[in-house]
Chains A and B, each alone.
Chain A
């Protein structure tokens, strides 16, 4: 389904006039994307709904000030990511210690060489049951790490933008990404071992 031309000035006017049909079109186009993003970042169904709702509510309120200089999707997602970061403000800095750090240290000998070659997880990743496995493993990744990883790998935001949104330093982001990736990789490696 081709996306309607939301950048059209007439469409924008209809939004500003709170035209129900126009808003329904916009909701059809982007609500599923917002919900999917929130779920992907590890929010519960309820929290995902709240986030999507508050993003749309803010858009309804703020549409009068929107001048159409950026795409409305960009504008909406900007609001959405702000809501996400408000939701987390307290907990998003990387903890000083995380169990994965020790796991990673134990993988290398005193010369910093791999004790054992990293096991092949690619077959697992691309196998049929991979999706469930990955989802299961994602659940073991702490929230802030998961969000950082999601914004980077799926939203493909640049690192500066993620730091702004999450209000963290680049060093902190590096720590979050290191941990998220290695948690996920370790988990898949373990699952691979179990299944032989």
Chain B
């Protein structure tokens, strides 16, 4: 049976993705029995969602500058 500390490592490093059947089963059994690790696992999923949200839109001025530079580059001799 895995310890909580091992479960936390396996989940956050995504080592479980490449784990064999037995290891995966062990992780599942632990999660079924351990409220704390279930909560932790749920939080990590929420973190990924938060990361996707966090990067807000890029200011229009930055995009304009970038576009101008790209078009200048295009105008240079090939």
Contact = CB atoms under 8 A, between A and B. Distances in A.
B46 A53 contact: no
A178 B62 CA distance: 33
A23 interface: yes
Given A40-B54, A130-B50, A149-B51, A104 B8 contact: yes
Interface residues on A, range: 35 or more
B13 A31 contact: no
Interface residues of B, number: 45
B5 A108 contact: yes
Contacts of A182: 8, 12
Nearest to A57: B73
Given A112-B3, A113-B4, A60 B73 contact: yes
Contacts of B50: 125-126, 130, 134
Interface in B1-57: 3-6, 8-9, 12-15, 17-18, 35-37, 39-40, 42-44, 46-57
Say whether chain A's binding surface is mostly helix, strand, loop, or mixed: helix
Interface of A: 18, 20, 23-24, 27-28, 31-32, 35-37, 39-40, 45, 49, 52-53, 56-57, 60-61, 104-105, 107-108, 111-114, 117-118, 120-122, 125-126, 130-131, 134-135, 138, 149-150, 152-154, 159, 170, 174-175, 177-178, 181-182, 184-185, 188
Given A60-B70, A118-B43, A152-B48, 10 more contacts: A24-B71, A35-B66, A40-B54, A49-B66, A53-B69, A61-B78, A117-B39, A131-B54, A134-B53, A177-B13
